[in-house]
Amino acid sequence: MRALDATALVLVVIGAINWGLIGFFSFDLVAALFGNMTAFTRVIYALVGIAGIYALSFFGRDREVREAK
Higher pLDDT, 66 or 36: 36
Is the pLDDT at 61 greater than 90? The verdict is no
Task: Work out how many domains the chain is built from and give that number.
Answer: 1
**14 and 20 in contact (C-beta within 8 Å)?**
no
Q: In the prediction, which pLDDT does 55 show? A: 93
Structural domain including 25 reads 3-68
What is the pLDDT averaged over residues 23-44?
95
pLDDT band at 41 (very low <50, low <70, confident <90, very high): very high
Distance CA 57, CA 52 (A): 9
What is the value of pTM for the model shown? 0.81
